[in-house]
């Protein structure tokens, strides 16, 4: 079968068009890729072949951005319209929330909005570290290199942009440009959260299973307060099979998109969720809420209850108290005049009818000794992780930079006495590991994974405000007592 006809048939099967639209769809494709049709090669996807045809026919430049924009335009023709997607989603939701999300996730993978083939390139492994926790490590290889033309244009760009950011509703169906990702095939589910219009979508470069984003319909800054907890509870009531959490709302300890209120969620059980309580805490005014300090490198206070109103009330009290709490003996300082330094990373999931809320305490102070953050990965660990510790990493899943794939291969060669180009930044660590581990060709990979996981555990410990030592335990108790 010729390519244009096969594409049109697929678009009709997907429900975007009716059989009578076949010629119309083929002409839409001709307008995008040129009139020269070719025989279908089943070794490649239809869209890949059409993009290559467009380059050959001179319809687009042979560049990263031009190819991406055309690819998403073609996938858009294979995808139902936003109104139809929303209608189908909520019809399926009547059967069950999971039926609806399964359908929507499959749609977003089949139309290449979720970049499944790219995500498969990521390196992933899970290893137990010395404190007994199992940590998940990923080396992120899925996001493509930026187009050099896009980098140059961004450097010269001024003024207000449309869309304002990558999370705005206006991305749905947006063609894309050199400095903004193509989104022709993007679809957003509309919903109400906290009495306001929000959207629900999947992440194109997912960091875990069914990685989704809940986003405010308005472009407004992130905030962590009582409304956050109300919103998280509402999302859990609507999607009880997903966890949901928010990045902190301050620089250094927050995420990379502080300008747009949003949460992340998905169908994944993170290591922190499995971590046990190491010290129970009781709040006499909240008898329906079980609480405790979690046995975790970061400072996590967990609340469990089937009484969501009590959970929200107590959680708000903890957030507000932490917002004004200082302990100079531990370099914990709530504010400098009008500049606040305290917030939390809140995460919620369900266990039957019980809501489980983890409140991870965050402090973004800096000092001369720690200019990037007192409670941030310290310099000794930067060869593995220097970036901010966001929501996903708080829960025990490391997102490590792509450079490490090749750099760690050189570390392994160094250990095995092979010719290597080990980076100077890794050398002290590599020698330190060599001194206390017996390394050979059979176990070198295992040792490497275990030691990288241990570095990540140390990173989380650096980000914890109450350390796992005598001073940290005493600090925890002082904070709990004042609550």
Which ranges in 269-367 belong to alpha helices (H)? Answer: 271-274, 308-323
In this structure, of 31-45, 67-81, 310-324, 368-382, the range with the lowest mean pLDDT score is: 31-45
Is the pLDDT at 322 greater than 90? The verdict is: yes
Query: CA nearest 118: which of 109, 129, 128, 106?
Result: 109
Distance CA 436, CA 284 (A): 49
Q: How confident is the model at residue 179 (pLDDT cuts 50, 70, 90)?
A: confident
Q: Is residue 4 over pLDDT 90?
A: yes
DSSP letter string over 210-223?
A: T-EEEEESS-----
Using the predicted structure, report yes or no on whether residue 76 has a pLDDT greater than 60: yes
The domain limits of the chain are 124-140+219-483
Can you tell me the mean pLDDT for 94-108? 98
Whole-number percent of the chain with pLDDT over 70: 97
Q: Which of 33-42, 247-256, 263-272 has the highest mean pLDDT?
A: 263-272
Q: What is the pLDDT of residue 146?
A: 55
Query: Quick one: pLDDT at residue 39?
Result: 86
Residue 148: the pLDDT is: 58
| Residue 151, pLDDT above cutoff 60 | no
User: What is the rounded average pLDDT of the residues 86-109?
Assistant: 98
- Residue 338: its pLDDT value, please? 86
Rounded to whole angstroms, how far apart are CA atoms 36 and 54?
9
Give percent of the chain with pLDDT exceeding 90: 91
pLDDT at 111: 96
Check residue 160 and give its pLDDT: 76
- Residue pLDDT, tens place only, 183-231: 999 999 999 999 999 999 999 999 999 999 999 999 999 999 999 999 9
Q: What local confidence, expressed as pLDDT, does residue 255 receive?
A: 81
Listed in sequence order, the residues at least 6 apart from 151 whose beta carbon sits closer than 8 Å to its beta carbon are: none
pLDDT at 139 (0 to 100)? 97
| Edge-to-edge strand ranges of the sheet holding 397-400 | 123-128, 134-139, 397-400
Cis preceding-peptide flag for 210 (omega within 30 of 0): no
pLDDT-derived band at 85 (thresholds 50, 70, 90) equals very high
pLDDT value for 216? 98
Q: What is the pLDDT of residue 145?
A: 59
How confident is the model at residue 43, as a pLDDT?
81
The average confidence (pLDDT) of the chain is 95
Residue 351 has pLDDT above 70, yes or no: yes
- Strand intervals (E) in 401-472: none
For residue 123, the surrounding DSSP H or E stretch is strand 123-128
Q: Are 481 and 282 in contact (CB under 8 A)?
A: no
- Ranking 60-64, 283-287, 420-424 by mean pLDDT, the lowest is 60-64
pLDDT of residue 355: 98
* pLDDT band, very low/low/confident/very high, at 38 (cuts 50, 70, 90): confident
Does 150 score more than 60 pLDDT? no
* Average pLDDT score over residue span 461-470: 97
Which has the minimum average pLDDT: 63-67, 74-78, 147-151, 434-438?
147-151
Q: Is the pLDDT of residue 149 over 80?
A: no
Confidence at residue 385, expressed as pLDDT on a 0 to 100 scale: 96
What pLDDT score does 297 carry?
A: 97
Q: Are residues 249 and 391 in contact, defined by beta-carbon separation less than 8 angstroms? A: no
Report the predicted TM-score, pTM, of the whole model to 2 decimal places. Answer: 0.94
Alpha helices per DSSP H over 324-359: none
pLDDT tens across 254-302, in order? 888 899 999 999 999 999 999 999 999 999 999 999 999 999 999 999 9
What Å distances lie between residue 397 and 120, 124, 278, 419, 462, CA to CA?
A: 16, 10, 21, 32, 16
pLDDT, tens digit, 9 for 90 and up, residues 326-346:
999 999 999 998 899 999 999
Query: Is the pLDDT confidence value at 153 over 70?
Result: no
Q: Are strands 397-400 and 134-139 parallel, antiparallel or unpaired?
A: parallel
**pLDDT band (50, 70, 90) for residue 159:** low
Q: How confident is the model over 157-173, as a mean pLDDT?
A: 88
């Amino acid at each position: 079968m010729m390519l244009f006809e096969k594409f049109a048939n697929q678009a009709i099967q997907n429900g975007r068009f009716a059989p009578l639209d076949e010629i119309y769809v083929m002409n839409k494709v001709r307008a995008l890729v040129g009139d020269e049709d070719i025989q279908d090669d089943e070794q490649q996807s239809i869209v890949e072949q059409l993009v290559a045809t467009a380059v050959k026919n001179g319809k687009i430049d042979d560049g990263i951005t031009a190819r991406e924009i055309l690819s998403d335009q073609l996938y858009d023709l294979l995808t139902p319209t936003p109104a139809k997607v929303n209608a189908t989603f909520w019809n399926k939701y009547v059967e069950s929330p999971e039926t609806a999300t399964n359908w929507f996730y499959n749609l977003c993978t089949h139309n290449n909005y979720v970049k499944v083939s790219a995500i498969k390139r990521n390196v992933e492994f899970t290893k137990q570290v010395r404190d007994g926790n199992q940590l998940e490590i990923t080396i992120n290889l899925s996001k493509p290199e930026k187009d050099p033309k896009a980098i140059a244009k961004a450097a010269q760009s001024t003024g207000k942009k449309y869309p304002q950011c990558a999370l705005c509703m206006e991305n749905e169906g947006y063609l894309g440009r050199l400095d903004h990702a193509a989104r022709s095939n993007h679809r957003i589910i509309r919903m109400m959260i906290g009495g306001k219009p929000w959207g629900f979508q999947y992440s194109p470069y997912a960091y875990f299973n069914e990685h989704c984003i809940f986003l405010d319909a308005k472009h407004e800054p992130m905030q962590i307060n009582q409304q956050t907890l109300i919103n998280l509870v509402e999302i859990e009531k609507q999607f009880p099979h997903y966890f949901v959490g928010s990045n902190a709302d301050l620089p250094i300890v927050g995420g990379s998109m502080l300008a747009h209120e949003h949460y992340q969620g998905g169908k994944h059980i993170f290591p922190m969720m499995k971590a046990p309580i190491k010290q129970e805490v009781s709040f006499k005014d909240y008898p329906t809420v079980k609480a405790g300090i979690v046995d975790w490198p970061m400072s996590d206070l967990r609340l469990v209850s089937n009484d969501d109103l009590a959970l929200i009330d107590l959680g708000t009290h903890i957030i507000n108290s932490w917002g004004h709490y200082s302990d100079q003996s531990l370099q914990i300082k709530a504010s400098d005049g009008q500049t606040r330094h305290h917030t939390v990373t809140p995460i919620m999931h369900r266990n039957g009818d019980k809501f489980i809320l983890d409140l991870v305490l965050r402090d973004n102070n800096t000092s001369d000794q720690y200019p990037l953050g007192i409670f941030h990965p310290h310099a000794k660990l930067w060869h593995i992780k220097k970036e901010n510790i966001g929501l996903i990493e708080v829960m025990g899943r490391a997102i490590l930079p792509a450079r490490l794939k090749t750099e760690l291969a050189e570390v392994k060669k160094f250990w095995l006495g092979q010719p290597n180009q080990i980076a100077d930044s890794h050398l002290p660590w590599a020698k330190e590991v060599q001194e206390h581990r017996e390394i050979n060709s059979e176990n070198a990979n295992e040792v490497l994974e275990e030691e990288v996981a241990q570095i990540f555990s140390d990173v989380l410990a650096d980000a914890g405000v109450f350390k796992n030592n005598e001073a940290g335990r005493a600090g925890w108790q002082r904070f709990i007592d004042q609550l």
